[in-house]
Structure 1
């Protein structure tokens, strides 16, 4: 027999087994002890298709230190994967975090500060630190002093001196979004004048509220402002600002929450009025905005027409068209008509229009009138105004009906 099965139910992840073999025959040694065979035990669990150590301990990855004062910080973190962490909690009671704080420098020559902290929550305020000194903080997930994650999340931070600490204040957020849903967000904030000349750079980090993917931009210089260009309309964001001074002393703000404005999409790019040989008839033809709605998404169009825009929609003349044009008959000479066109999609939803209009073509777009179409009291074309589907640089003219 040249094999042996060992039943060792108490083995844990990370344990080692040392084994040696000696050959005997008839009570006599025919081959002495072999070299030691070292077997490392690796036991894994499969949780939501993610393989983890059998102790289930993954250190948090979003481990940050936010300076509260020259001598205090707030440590914050989230589980590596919140959904998996909840399931692990059900498997192991008493799960907690172990934070080790180590002072790395001492300008005064005093003994270096060290401390170990046990925390159940996902944040902790740490005080009694020394201004101007450098610290290292590590965090591990643990069940007991003997059972904790093999790896740790780590953050290093230099505490600001008393004359270096400040708070980002008076954050002003302004935005401009096009009807395509894309736009920019401008940020400005205040810093004390005596600090501004010491600033080396700003790091602005932001993410959607339900997303853990932080986007980061760095701005070199002393001007407390930033421009974000890839945000979506109607979305809530979380923002934080890190300020780095010359000498690489950094101060990070708390989290700011803001929401970008909701922008109504305008599906109509252009409307043309085509006059026919018949005096009381015209043909309307329109072009969709392809960035908002595709032709294969369109089921049809609801066209409404009236002489009196104050009438309820039920009293407007209604025309249905399966194509992007329709003929309008029995029009009165010398009369202004108001029309609106809604796009009926194949999924049953109706997309209404937002337009910009003016009677002075030379005005910049910012001075044009804006109209969001919600009900029959609003129109998307009328006599002799310039019509713009959305933020195009050049307006398009739509003539009034019955000129």
Structure 2
């Protein structure tokens, strides 16, 4: 008799978000199950809400944890919240920063400051250290943990751009101050410039990395536009290293399924709707982690390096030939012996689903942006509220949108084995 087995990958995107565990940056996960993670800082943080690569990376990397994210980035902001002052003074900006944090209800805050402040030089160092410590204390008073990011130095982009050497010397002072504050406040710190780790690496051939036109450039594939701010490709490249620093190493996506007697078990995910009858075995495997997000468009050679398969092991099956179908397409047929040893199952279309997840994350971030930072707030809340202030009651109406659009990415495998 011949056995015929069909495995159908539904790869459903379940809307709810996930992430890591507590510890030190060197050895353990820094995030805990169920964390509400707030990202706080200037342009580096603000642009994450539209690119979404870090959130998507963490969702697929640590999908076994129930995490939510809130982005409070504000371009040009400093540790005093000065950009948030709108028409007020610095004290108003800081009060707004704390109010935004309170609205977000964090259990952990990832803080990225120091680039703007470094332009004040050595003279501003003492004030920066004091203000950062004040912010850390305020966050802990909200019953939240703190993870400080030490900013990445400016990268030399060659002629047409300023030489970064002098600025990086100043930034080095502020990076050290951030690490000092982390140690004195018992907070975690993640350095964005660790060689072989979080430091960005050029992508492409050595020749292209050494030359763009007539000038030497370290970011030939467009990781940065000016040596400071990252492009979409830069955020995609940064995401896995930063995710590892926050949540530990990404492990290979693999599942071992055992069908024996009257039971079906799996090494990852959850078995649902299991049925073992004469001549037929079927079950649904839910909660399998998806691969990392695809890179921005136009980078096929890089995309080819990203994994789009699942290591699948199945025992104990009767001898015979088994066919695996993913999303309705036959991706291979294997003997019972090969399935027991483990096979790489291609996942066609998974990259598209992860892109859809990233789009959903961006939409969620947009809803929250309009909640905490609405357009025309001068008319809604400030000195012109006598004109349209009655519309301010509509702002909390965004709450159900961003609260319900928290998302999680998992895959579901439906396994149907029929003995023919």
- TM-score per shorter chain, which class? under 0.3
**Larger Rg belongs to:** 1
Q: Name the structure where helix makes up a greater proportion of residues.
A: 2
* TM value normalised by structure 1: 0.23
Higher relative contact order (CA 8 A, sep 6+): 2
* TM value normalised by structure 2: 0.22
Q: Name the structure where strand makes up a greater proportion of residues.
A: 1
